[in-house]
Structure 1
Amino acid sequence: MSTNLRDEIERVLVAWDAHEISVGAPPVVDFDCRPSLDGAEAIGRVEAYQELARLRQGADDLLASRVDCHLAYLGALLGERLPLREYVRRTQGCDVMGWSEEYVTWRGDQARAAMADLGIAWGSTTRGDLLDSEHNLTVDEIPAALRTAADEFEPLVRKATGTTADYNLTIETDDVDAYWSYWLDGAGKDARLRLNMRNARFTDVQARQFALHEILGHALQCASYSARCVNEDVPWVRVLSVHADHQVLLEGLAQAWPLFVAPEDKALVAHVKLDHYLQLVRGELHIAINDGVSVTDCLALARARVPFWGDEVIGRLLADRGVDPLLRSYQWAYPAGVDWFVTLAETNDTEVITDVLTAAYRSPLTPGELSARLG
């Protein structure tokens, strides 16, 4: 492995990121794990594409696979429209096989049972009823609730992963017209958590869930990568992007963390089971809208599966996954990732689980590398 080549790839990514930010587009760099955060003069998409294609010629398999993620995404930004399965394979590094109707229904039965255990009926008001059954937090209460929950779970996550990395967290609130309710980015041991108050309603249970997902999931995990990069010349690209092939790991484990560290927390686990099912339904719709299924039929599927989704929610879901070049790739990481890690938790194989969780906080593993650890 040539660290000079790795550094050149990172230089191009940072320069391309500067261009995207300058034109108000989504950034390329989600988290920067390099010890020295050198900037670069902005370069446009075509130049970035050509530079990465040139660098790929001398890359080993590890670097080449990461460069391929960026080339596929850049191609989409420049107008290419690869078939969904090829596009996700080249960006997220996994197959778009989907799940059988029977499997999705089974996970739905689990979600409904979890709701029933909390006294929540399944129907058009399920989501609202669930949140109403919990303690709603005001905007002013949210940051303290997140930090308190993170403090509670941090020793458990550190024990499960073996990480000793430090992290610094800044919490901000936003009000933007976007699909996300919360988002974390950063560099080194410094992370910024943004809460989109236009979409999100926060309860005490959600505070525990988001603390595990964003703070002890993404923030601590990326800080752990950064700490390793300080002490070791790692072979992988140290600039992380959500359209790249480590995202199935990052989003999958972040969603499933309660099953590993709080399996007795009935309300928290119920949220995971519900969200797992909803992600599988989103996956069904992701495939359908890209396979030419009509909007009418997609709406019918969504309404049958999730009676509490309104038309605007379903419409935004379809547009994100069918049209947006970033979300057409990135949004697949959520159902693929959560299903993989929920299944891992259900094995109760302590040895394998410990191996996966420890490795997951040392390197941004690809789906193939995750699967290889199952033996």
Structure 2
Amino acid sequence: MTLRDDIETALRAWDAYERQRGCPAVIDYDCAPTDVEIPPVADRIDAHARFTDLERRAHAEDQPHLADRVGAHLAYLRALLGEHQPLDAYVQATQGCTAAGWTDDYITACRDRAISAIGACGVTWGPDTAAHLDEAEGPVPSDDVPDLIRAAATEIEPTVRRLTGATADYDLTIERVDLDVYWAYWLDGAGSKVRLRLNQRNARFTAVRLRQFAQHEILGHALQAANWSANCTRNDVPWVRLTSVHAQQQVLMEGLAQALPLFTAPDDEPLTTRIRVDHYLQLVRAELHRAINTGTSVADCVDHARDRVPFWKDSTIADALTDRGADPLLRSYLWSYPAGIDWFVALADTAGPEISGTILRTAYQRPLTPADLAQLWPSGPRIGGPGTPDTP
């Protein structure tokens, strides 16, 4: 067996262990599903020993991409075992980029752009912005959501396939769940089979959000992962064929999925307005992510969040701080959202069609790390921020 195959076997064994304990899965999408049953690891120490050995092998065989991937799993395992690395080191090891953050001037400029965009929709900035924006977009009855999502995806899918070169089919199942967790929707799967879960506690849809959601989850994630899987069927690819949200492909996946409408529907102003607002909100979440991990008090974080986003509820702020400060998985994974959307918004706004076209097509052929993205666009912004942010 190759080193890649041994890494995948170790991942399946660790994933089986975590799932049988009722803990978050290790594998989110399986691009090379198999009927071979892999026994679970004995415990997390066993998993740590296996990945430590695999990391040594990767360095000995001069396979830095595989060494980095194994390093992400080791960093997350150590966090599960109680180790608390400084944020920048932890994010660098897992997501593959810095957690340097963005300056106040930059974040304020993104806020001003978002305010200008919602103003064009007749919505003002203040405590009621979220509610008024939902009203302007047109709320959608929850019972109609699954069919409307499919219809929205079908309408824009030819454009996405043209831009990305994706040719794979996907078989989508939509489930409703009611869970007390941070996410409103979650996608996972294996091969061409994709499962989309809608968390009824958090999921709220408007006509615009439906179009955004269809591009993010179905055409941004499902089609992309299914196309990776089809590539694995045709070719003996050198990369690990299992995705994990604590690993380096996630900046690509979440960044492109969030910003995809800027490439596919740039003239859909209500939809691009949502992207501009989300870009700003992710940068504020990044500020809180850094602050709560670098010694800023909860009170100061709350005051800063209220000042930055007057329409956020206290429960929203509390969840943001808890997730990013206390949860080993989310402390890594949630950084991929601001890091990813900021880079891909810049790509859409400034790179030009030749560079952006190459990146979109490559992104649907194989997982790309932040280092891969930087190599494809050397003059692009630093993923994870340029640093020198102001502390809340």
TM-score, normalised to structure 2, is 0.94
- Corresponding residue number in structure 2 for 1:242: 245
Counterparts of 1:358 and 1:128 in 2: how far apart (Å)? 37
Alpha-carbon distance between aligned partners in 2 of 1:135 and 1:119, rounded to the nearest angstrom: 13
Aligned AA for 2:8? Answer: E
Whole-angstrom CA distance in 1 between matches of 2:33 and 2:205 = 35
Matching residue of 1:46: 45
**C-alpha contact (below 8 Å) 2:185/2:198 kept by paired residues:** yes
Q: How does 1:1-375 map to 2 (within 5 A)?
A: 4-43=2-41, 44-59=43-58, 60-375=63-378
Alpha-carbon distance, 1:23 to partner? 1.1
> Aligned partner of 2:12: which letter?
V
Q: TM-score, normalised by structure 1?
A: 0.98
Measured in 1, the distance between the counterparts of 2:205 and 2:291 equals 31
CA distance in 1, matches of 2:333, 2:351: 29
Where 2:186 maps in the other structure, the secondary structure is strand
SS of residue matched to 1:57: helix
RMSD across aligned positions (CA): 0.9
**Matched AA of 2:347:** L
Which residue identity lines up with residue 208 of structure 1 in the other structure? R
* Aligned counterparts of 2:18 and 2:34: Cα–Cα separation in 1: 21
Aligned sequence identity (%): 54
Task: Give the distance between the partners of 2:262 and 2:32, measured in 1 at CA.
Answer: 31
The gaps in structure 2 that reach 5 residues or longer are 379-392
Deviation of the 1:348 alpha carbon: 4.9
Higher mean displacement: 38-47 or 192-201: 38-47
Q: Please report how far the alpha carbon of residue 42 of structure 1 lies from its aligned counterpart in structure 2 after TM superposition.
A: 1.3
Determine the C-alpha separation between the residues in 2 that align with 1:45 and 1:120.
50
Q: Tell me if the contact between 1:15 and 1:39 (Cα under 8 Å) persists in the aligned partners.
A: no
Letter in 2 for 1:54: D
Q: Look up the SS of the partner of 2:173 in the other structure.
A: strand
Deviation at 1:134, TM superposition (A): 2.2
- SS of 2:143's equivalent in the other structure is coil
CA distance in 2, matches of 1:299, 1:63: 40
Quick one: distance in 2 between partners of 1:66 and 1:39?
23
Residue segments in structure 1 that go unaligned for 5+ positions in a row: none
Equivalent residue, structure 1, for 2:387: none
Question: 1:38 deviation in Å?
Answer: 3.1
Which letter maps to 2:227?
A: S
Segment drifting more, 361-370 vs 27-36: 27-36
Distance 1:55 1:201 in 2: 43
Number of aligned positions between the proteins = 373
- CA-CA distance at 1:36 after TM superposition: 2.8
